């Protein structure tokens, strides 16, 4: 009897996944600094977001970055810069404009909201001291 129940349960699970895949959680790859930079370059090209020549060059260099943005962690200015510095990328204030960091944070928040609105609200509400 148990063997039949197990087979039935497996059949139901298989059919549910096959016909109602949206009912099951999907594991997404973590966002990377390259993902956010790619969005900034794309928005600049479409005229949605203007970047200075220096900031655009940095975004283009960051596009290849595979540094993951930690899920659920406050990614405010200092923490973002620290992660990039740990990876050997010189992202000092003297090199990038403050406007770039604001634009980067906004793009990051927007991308997080598109994936999962809950944590992104926290990102959007918290400010750097």
The torsion angles phi and psi of 112, rounded to 5 degrees, stand at -65, -40
Query: Residues 33-69: pLDDT tens digits?
Result: 899 999 999 999 999 988 988 888 888 888 888 888 8
Q: H-type helices in the chain, by residue range?
A: 2-19, 33-46, 53-62, 77-86, 98-115, 117-125
Q: 79-110: per-residue pLDDT in tens?
A: 676 777 766 666 655 466 778 878 888 888 88
- Cα angle: 66, vertex 69, 75; to 5 degrees: 140
Domain boundaries, the chain: 29-125
């Amino acid at each position: 009897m148990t063997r039949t129940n197990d087979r039935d349960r497996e059949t139901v699970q298989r059919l549910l996944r096959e016909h109602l895949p949206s009912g099951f959680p999907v594991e997404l790859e973590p966002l990377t600094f390259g993902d956010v930079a790619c969005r900034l370059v794309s928005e600049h090209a479409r005229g949605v977001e203007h970047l200075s020549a220096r900031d655009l060059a940095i975004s283009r260099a960051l596009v290849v970055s595979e540094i993951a943005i930690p899920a659920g962690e406050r990614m405010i200015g200092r923490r973002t810069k620290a992660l990039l510095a740990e990876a050997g990328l010189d992202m000092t204030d003297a090199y990038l404009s403050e406007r770039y960091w604001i634009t980067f944070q906004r793009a990051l928040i927007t991308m997080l909201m598109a994936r999962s609105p809950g944590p992104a609200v926290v990102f959007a509400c918290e400010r750097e001291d």
